[in-house]
Amino acid sequence: RVVMVLTDINGNVLDYDIAEQPIVPIRTKKHVKSSPPKQSEPIPTSTPLKKVTQNPNPE
């Protein structure tokens, strides 16, 4: 059995699910598909923004 527990930031249990089949392969596929596009978008957008904010500060 695989017990998935959804917890709050403070550690409070919000929801829990008991699955007879392991959900590891399904979750890995979702993470692999969703991770590369999300990572490639914010990284180029945040780097120029940080450079722009650093320029006026020293001046």
pLDDT tens digits for range 5-23: 889 989 898 988 877 765 5
pLDDT for position 21: 62
Range of the domain at 17: 2-44
Q: Rounded to two decimals, what is the model's pTM?
A: 0.28
- Evaluate whether residue 35 is within a structural domain: yes
- Evaluate whether residue 11 is within a structural domain: yes
- Evaluate whether residue 49 is within a structural domain: no
- Evaluate whether residue 57 is within a structural domain: no
- DSSP SS3 for 6: strand
- Evaluate whether residue 32 is within a structural domain: yes
Is the pLDDT score of 39 beyond 60? Answer: no
Number of domains in the chain: 1
- DSSP SS3 for 1: coil
CA dist 53 to 13, 39, 40, 41, Å?
40, 21, 21, 19
Taking the alpha carbons of 46, 51, 54, 56 in that order, is the dihedral positive or negative? negative
- Evaluate whether residue 6 is within a structural domain: yes
What is the DSSP secondary structure assignment for residue 59, as one 8-state letter?
Answer: -
